[in-house]
Chains A and B, each alone.
Chain A
Amino acid sequence: MGHRLPSFLLYAVCGLIFLLLILPIFIVVPISFSTATYLQFPPPGFSLQWYKNYFSSRDWTQATILSLQVASITTIVATILGTLLAISLVRGNFKGKNLIYSFAVSPMIVPLIIIAIAVYFFYSKLRIVGTVPGLVAAHTILTIPYVLVIVSATLKGFDETMERASLSLGANPLKTFLLVTLPIIRPGIISAALFAFIVSFDELVIAIFICGTTAVTLPKRMWDGIRLEIDPTIAAVSSLLIGVSITLLILIEFMRKKQIK
């Protein structure tokens, strides 16, 4: 491998860039365990008071429970709908397939603010602003693309002859799907569900419009206090969110390894 640029320089530059990428995460976690009442670094001592503060505050815990609720329901709905879409678009053969695919993945790329105000105008007519169904409805369209992309990739990746064998041996399509296709693509579907969960759980822009005052999600609660509350409680919440992200990342990686086998 002689096509390297001067290695030392490359490593030094890359080291700094990696620092930029990872630094925020490594600053917030120590501060959340600080004894200081403001954002002092390095922390003068170790304490769990900010976590205690978070767990004993009603509006923080309520927001967390609401976020868990919304993310769980969204995950179930989006995984089912996204998988149905993926199956019909990958296995089916009809006109307009690509168009439907592009349409269904577009929420991934359309700026969130556009989706946010469009659904806000519509949902205020339906009077579901500030409710769990309103949040679930908005998050579902936002998470379907992730499910669609991941499950489609999984479906394309496996040998169709197994489905054909099952069909030619007399199983009907439903039975074939449940007994042959589903077990094979299960890791892909689980990855997709985990993705959907984290996207919904972390979502803020739509929440700013749809939460109202009656259904405040965890990111919305953070947003409300982020400019005013200078004690490290928000650092503790952030660290918990980072913990959730790491856990889901590990699970997704595990599922991917399983799929490859």
Chain B
Amino acid sequence: MNSYEKRFGEPELISLTSKALQRRAKTKWLLLLALPLLVLLTLYAYPISRMLLLSLFDPEFTMKNYIHFFKISSYSYVLVNTFKMSISVTVICLLLGYPIAYLLSTTSSRIKNLLMIMVILPFFTAFLVRTYAWMVILGRTGVLNQLLINWGFISSPLKLMHNLFGVYVGMVQILLPFMILPTYSVMAGINKDLMKAAENLGATPFRVFFHIFLPLSLPGVGGGSLLVFIIGLGFFITPALLGGISDVMISMFIETQVNQLLNWGFASAMAVILLAVTLLIFPIYNRFFGMGKFMGR
């Protein structure tokens, strides 16, 4: 069905729409589309394709940037490390996010609204602000160390940031809403009567949870995990501020190559690798869950 038929549902009007009119309708939509598409193509697609070329030509075609990356182990280590960190953060987010989503999907609506604010407010606060807050909390002379010393638990400050612990705390706090929101939206759609039925038939609460609720919530878990993993791969600000020297993620590495070493070709190659990984994973997410889900819509 074309757009004009959709518009003019009445049969007598459909008969008026000739082929020419249909074509005009199509042109009209393309006209609306033209300006935004042109902007996206010149300001976004074109620079990215230039970056791809920059990684492959110097000035002749060469794979040296890619070979360089995979040959030297300290470079490919960064990629492996990025995966490792993003997977760890995803697992932690899953463990912490699942109970929260479960609680949100089972409590009454008034408490739920309040709890929802506690999930969405951090979601709306800038990454940088939240990372800074963790620096204030976890620093050597930070809030947590001050309190622990004042209360007599420790005598000298603990090292809570500039290490893996700091990065994980920061990244988990930032990414947790991306896990909670899709998981919750799937859980909220589970028919509660199924659980009641199982209970009436004599299943224990544990059995009901593990045999009915958990399997039905898995699509949300899958969506949330993929989303957290993809966003985690590209993290830059948080590991740069809360991590130690060895906790390098690929984004930080790219930044150094560009801003300090002016090694644009090599930086481009790494960006292309990161982009390829993202573009391989993202369609899976999009196919099953759609873009709007994690915005709570």
Interface residues of chain A, those whose CB is within 8 Å of chain B, are: 1-5, 10-11, 13-14, 17-18, 20-25, 27-28, 31, 38-41, 81-82, 84-85, 87-89, 91-94, 100, 102-115, 117-123, 137-138, 140-141, 144-146, 149-150, 152-153, 160, 163-164, 167-168, 173, 198, 202, 204-205, 208-209, 219, 222-223, 226-227, 234-235, 238, 241-242, 245-246, 248-249
| Interface residue range, chain B | 35 or more
Rounded to whole angstroms, the CA-CA distance of A14 and B212 in the bound complex is: 22
Q: Which residues of A contact B3 (CB under 8 A)?
A: 91-93
Q: From DSSP, what is the main secondary structure of chain B's interface residues?
A: helix
Rounded to whole angstroms, the CA-CA distance of A167 and B143 in the bound complex is: 63
CB within 8 Å for A81 and B36 given contacts A25-B122, A149-B295: yes
Is B29 engaged at the interface, CB distance under 8 Å to the other chain?
yes
- A39 touches which of B119, B125, B139 (Cβ 8 Å): B139
Is B167 engaged at the interface, CB distance under 8 Å to the other chain?
no
Q: By the criterion CB–CB under 8 Å, are B121 and A3 in contact?
A: no
Rounded to whole angstroms, the CA-CA distance of A87 and B51 in the bound complex is: 31
Q: By the criterion CB–CB under 8 Å, are A117 and B286 in contact?
A: no
Considering the complex, give the chain B residue whose CB is closest to the CB of A6.
B205
- B254 touches which of A14, A117, A173, A219 (Cβ 8 Å): A117
CB within 8 Å for A105 and B127 given contacts A25-B133, A92-B29, A94-B29: no
Q: By the criterion CB–CB under 8 Å, are A3 and B208 in contact?
A: yes
A-B contact count (CB 8 A): 273
Q: Bits for B31-49, please: 1 = Cβ < 8 Å to A, else 0.
A: 0110111011001111110
Q: Which residues of B contact A81 (CB under 8 A)?
A: 35-36, 39
CB within 8 Å for A91 and B29 given contacts A109-B282, A111-B275, A202-B127: yes
Given contacts A5-B206, A110-B234, 8 further A-B contacts (CB under 8 A): A1-B195, A23-B137, A104-B36, A111-B234, A113-B251, A114-B274, A121-B268, A235-B132
CB distance from B199 to the nearest CB of A (A): 5
- Interchain residue pairs with CB less than 8 A apart (27): A1-B106, A3-B199, A5-B102, A21-B173, A21-B177, A22-B121, A24-B173, A25-B133, A31-B143, A39-B136, A39-B142, A40-B146, A93-B1, A93-B2, A103-B40, A113-B251, A113-B274, A114-B234, A118-B47, A145-B291, A167-B7, A167-B8, A208-B259, A223-B128, A226-B132, A249-B120, A249-B124
Q: By the criterion CB–CB under 8 Å, are B173 and A163 in contact?
A: no
CB within 8 Å for A24 and B241 given contacts A113-B234, A153-B297: no
